[in-house]
Structure 1
Amino acid sequence: MSEATREKMKEAAARLFYTQGYHGTSVRHIAEQANVNIALVSYYFGGKKGLFEELMTQFLEGYLKAMTIPEQPKRIDVREQLLLVSQSLLYYQQNHYHLARMVHREMTMDSVLVRELMTTYLQKEKHDFEKMVRRGMKEGIFIKQPIDFPLIQLRSMITMPFCSPQYIRELYQLSTTESYFIKRYMEHLTNWIDLCLCGYTPTQTNRVKVRIN
């Protein structure tokens, strides 16, 4: 019962933090949305701040876990590994839509918590992406180039649909919560990787395909 109550409060808080922001959400709002006694927020999380921090770390821990691809029946090259990781991260964010939007928005703020999370989690994300790209360059799969801007672009492409879903919905009539979106988006991301990292020409990109779920 206690775990179910905790989850109800976390789900309610994620929705409220997403729609109203941290400062616009009160402990009373969270308790009302979760249909629990207001004292339970302090009991389980030490208050709104503790609940907020738990949601942030929970999302980022899951995000890093989503970067770990299960062992494949046969060895895959680094290009396919990068595509599978990108797809996994897109699905993870889609499956945690409100939380993803909340976290990405908060990570644009400058605070002690955000600096700590960047050092702990986003530095690890950067390291893992950089490791893949450097391996691809070493193996001759990716063209050799400075990797800072390609890595920034890659991460931006993976997170942007969940940072700015309203922009995509209002201007392009695309819903990032629908299953079709990731399939279409992965086709574009595949072409970007082939052009910008592998150095293929547009006609060559049609020759190399990766199965996208």
Structure 2
Amino acid sequence: MSEQTKTTIKDAAISLFYAKGFHGTSVRDIARKAGVNPALISYYFGGKQALFESLLIDFFEGYVKTMETAAREPNGDPIDSLVELFKKVLLYQQSCHWLARMAHREMTLDSTLVREVMSTYLRKEQHLLEQAVARCLRRQGEPLAADLIVVQLRNMMTLPFSSPQYLRELFLLTPADEQFIERYGRHADEWIRSLLSSLEQRKTMVVRLTS
């Protein structure tokens, strides 16, 4: 019963934090939505702040684990591996899209919690993406640093879930829909391959000019 109660409280908190933000949500709001006594939030989580931090850690634990699992899966072609990693992270965020928006929105702030998440989880994310991109660049024989490619890739991977209202209001796109993920995944696949292909073409031109 306690695990079910904790899950119910978390689900209620996610929906309220998503809709009203941390400061716009009270312990009583969460308890009312979850149908529990407010004292249980302190009992299970230690209060609203600790509950919020727990949800943030839950998201980034799953986020990095998804990326690590995808990176470990054997695939002969590094570009195929990168595309597959991208798509799996999209699907993970879609599976918890309210929590994803809440987490990504929080990461735009400057706080002790955000710095801890950066050093623990986003540093791992950076390392995994840099490794994946570097494998592709080595295959192409391209000496360019991977940092800006990682920045572009990461932005494409998270923007649909950090700014869903922007996509809905201006482009009539809904990141929570399966059709959006399928379409966006195909676009990302084409973009990644096109980018790396252009690097290969540029390398070939340089070789020809210097030979």
| TM-score, length of structure 2 as denominator length | 0.90
Matches within 5 A, 1:10-25: 10-25=10-25
CA distance in 2, matches of 1:155, 1:174: 19
Q: Secondary structure at the match of 1:8?
A: helix
CA distance in 1, matches of 2:150, 2:125: 10
CA distance in 2, matches of 1:42, 1:198: 54
CA distance in 1, matches of 2:134, 2:96: 30
Please provide the CA RMSD for this pair.
Answer: 1.7
- Percent identity, please: 49
Q: Secondary structure at the match of 1:176?
A: coil
> 1:156 aligns to what?
155
Moved over 6 A (4+): none
**CA apart distance, 1:197:** 2.6
| 2:70 aligned with 1:69 | yes
CA distance in 1, matches of 2:32, 2:143: 55
What are the ranges of 5 or more consecutive residues in structure 2 without an aligned counterpart? 201-211
CA distance in 1, matches of 2:149, 2:127: 14
> 1:187 aligns to what?
186
> 2:130 aligns to what?
130
Q: Secondary structure at the match of 2:36?
A: coil
Which stretch shows the higher mean deviation, 48-57 or 190-199? 190-199
Could you report, residue by residue, the CA deviation over 1:18-62 in whole angstroms, capped at 9, with x for unpaired residues?
Answer: 111111111000000100010000000000011001000000000
What letter is aligned with 1:99?
Answer: L
What are the ranges of 5 or more consecutive residues in structure 1 without an aligned counterpart? 202-213
CA distance in 1, matches of 2:76, 2:11: 37
**CA apart distance, 1:192:** 1.3
> 1:206 aligns to what?
none
CA distance in 2, matches of 1:82, 1:35: 43
Between Structure 1 and Structure 2, how many residues are aligned?
199
CA distance in 1, matches of 2:199, 2:138: 17
CA distance in 1, matches of 2:85, 2:139: 19
The structure with the largest alpha-carbon Rg is 2
| 2:164 aligned with 1:165 | yes
CA distance in 2, matches of 1:22, 1:123: 25
> 1:205 aligns to what?
none
**CA apart distance, 1:16:** 0.7
| TM-score, length of structure 1 as denominator length | 0.89
